[in-house]
C-alpha cells in the first residue's frame, strides 16, 4: 500500500464510524480517549503529538516515536473490572493483546486506563485498528494511521507541486477571462449593427423587455406576498403562543378554583360541626336550667321554729 492509497483510506476512515460503543453506558462512561507518543501529554496533532477526542474520532499520526499509547478516561467504574486492549497491524495480524484490571470491591469516580505498544522505527505503515473492552464489552472501536518520515516528505513535495499548478491555472484563467471580455465587446458591436439593420428585431427586443419587466413586477409581487404571508404566519404563531399561555393560565385558575372549593367544603364541614356543638351546648344548658328550676320548685318548705 503506497502513501497515497494510505492517505485516501485514512481520510475515508476518519469520516467513517470510529466509535465509543454505547453498550457499556450503564456500567461506566467514557469521557474521552487519546493517542500519544511516549512521554508526551500535551495536545498536538503532528510531530509525535497527542490527539484528544471527546467523541468518536480516530488518530492520524505523523511520528518517528517508537512508542505509541492509548489513554482512556473512564467515569463511574464499578470494581472489580478488567480493561482489555487489542492492537491490530495493517495486515490484520493482532500485534498486542493486553488486559489490566482491579480486584477491589469499590466504585471509582475516575479511572485512567492506558496501554502502550512498541512499533520501533521500521513499523508497518497504514491503518492500525485498536479496540478497547471493559469487562468483555467493547467500549472503543478506533484506529491510528502511521506514516514514515520519507512519506511525509513525498506528501509535502506533492503539495508544493499542487500549489504551483494551482498558481499556473489561475494565470491561465485570467488570460481566458480577458479573451472572453474581448469577444463580448465584439459581440456587442455585432448586435448593434444587427439592431440598426433589422427594425423588426428591435421591436421584438422591446416586447421581450416589456415581458421581462412584467416578469420582474410579478416576481416583486410574489416576494411581497411571501413577506405578507410570513407576517401572517408570525402572527398566527404569536396567537398560538398566546392561546397556549392562556390555556396554561386557565388550567392554573381551574386548579386554584378547585383548591378553593375544597377549602370551602372543608370550612362548611367545620362550620356544621361547630353549629351542632352549639346546639348541643344550648340543649344541655336548657336541660340544666329546667332541672334546676324543677328542683327549686319541689324543695320542701322549712317550718318556722317554735316560740
Residue 20 pLDDT: 55
Question: How many other C-beta atoms are found inside a 10 Å radius of the C-beta of residue 146?
Answer: 21
Burial of 85 (C-beta count, 10 Å sphere; 0-12/13-18/19+): buried
Q: Which of 66, 78, 75 is nearest to 117 (CA)?
A: 66
Distance CA(127)–CA(110), nearest Å, equals: 30
Residue 7 pLDDT: 41
Is the distance from CB of 112 to CB of 73 less than 8 angstroms? yes
Half-sphere exposure of 123 (CA within 13 A, CB side): 28
Distance CA(212)–CA(209), nearest Å, equals: 5
Phi, psi dihedral angles at 82 (to 5 degrees): -135, 140
Residue 144 pLDDT: 79
User: Could you tell me the residue ranges of all domains in the chain?
Assistant: 3-147, 150-192, 198-262
Q: Which of 121-130, 151-160, 236-245, 290-299 has the lowest mean pLDDT?
A: 151-160
Is the distance from CB of 43 to CB of 50 less than 8 angstroms? yes
What's this model's pTM, rounded to 2 decimal places? 0.42
Residue 176 pLDDT: 87
Distance CA(175)–CA(179), nearest Å, equals: 6
Q: What is the mean pLDDT of residues 167-186?
A: 88
Average pLDDT, the chain: 76
Terminal Cα-to-Cα distance of the chain (whole angstroms): 154
**Bridge partners (DSSP) listed for residue 127:** 145
Instruction: State the CATH architecture for 3-147.
Output: Sandwich (2.60)
CA 100 to chain centroid = 33
- Cα dihedral 78, 79, 81, 85 sign: positive
pLDDT bracket for residue 302 (50, 70, 90): low
∠35-39-45 over CA atoms, to 5°?
40
Half-sphere exposure of 125 (CA within 13 A, CB side): 19
Amino acid at each position: 500500500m503506497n502513501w497515497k492509497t494510505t492517505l485516501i483510506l485514512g481520510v475515508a476512515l476518519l469520516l467513517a464510524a470510529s466509535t465509543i460503543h454505547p453498550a457499556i453506558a450503564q456500567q461506566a462512561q467514557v469521557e474521552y480517549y487519546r493517542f500519544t507518543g511516549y512521554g508526551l501529554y500535551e495536545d498536538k496533532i503532528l510531530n509525535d503529538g497527542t490527539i484528544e477526542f471527546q467523541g468518536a474520532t480516530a488518530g492520524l499520526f505523523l511520528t518517528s516515536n517508537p512508542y505509541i499509547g492509548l489513554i482512556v478516561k473512564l467515569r463511574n467504574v464499578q470494581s472489580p473490572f478488567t480493561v482489555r486492549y487489542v492492537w491490530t497491524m495493517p495486515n490484520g495480524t493482532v500485534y498486542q493483546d493486553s488486559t489490566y484490571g482491579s480486584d477491589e470491591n469499590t466504585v471509582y469516580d475516575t479511572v485512567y486506563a492506558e496501554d502502550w505498544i512498541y512499533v520501533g522505527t521500521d513499523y508497518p505503515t497504514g491503518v492500525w485498528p485498536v479496540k478497547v473492552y471493559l469487562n468483555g464489552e467493547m467500549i472503543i472501536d478506533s484506529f491510528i494511521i502511521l506514516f514514515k518520515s520519507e512519506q511525509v516528505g513525498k506528501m509535502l513535495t506533492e503539495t508544493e507541486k499542487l500549489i504551483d499548478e494551482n498558481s499556473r491555472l489561475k494565470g491561465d484563467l485570467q488570460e481566458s477571462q480577458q479573451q472572453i471580455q474581448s469577444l463580448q465587446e465584439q459581440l456587442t458591436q455585432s448586435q448593434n449593427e444587427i439592431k440598426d439593420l433589422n427594425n423588426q428585431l428591435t421591436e421584438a427586443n422591446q416586447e421581450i423587455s416589456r415581458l421581462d419587466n412584467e416578469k420582474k413586477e410579478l416576481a416583486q409581487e410574489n416576494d411581497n406576498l411571501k413577506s405578507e404571508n410570513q407576517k401572517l404566519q408570525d402572527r398566527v404563531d404569536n396567537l398560538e403562543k398566546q392561546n397556549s399561555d392562556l390555556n396554561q393560565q386557565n388550567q392554573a385558575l381551574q386548579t386554584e378554583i378547585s383548591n378553593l372549593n375544597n377549602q370551602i367544603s372543608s370550612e362548611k364541614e367545620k362550620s356544621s360541626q361547630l353549629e351542632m356543638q352549639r346546639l348541643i351546648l344550648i340543649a344541655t344548658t336548657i336541660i340544666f336550667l329546667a332541672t334546676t328550676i324543677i328542683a327549686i320548685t319541689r324543695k320542701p318548705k322549712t317550718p318556722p321554729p317554735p316560740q
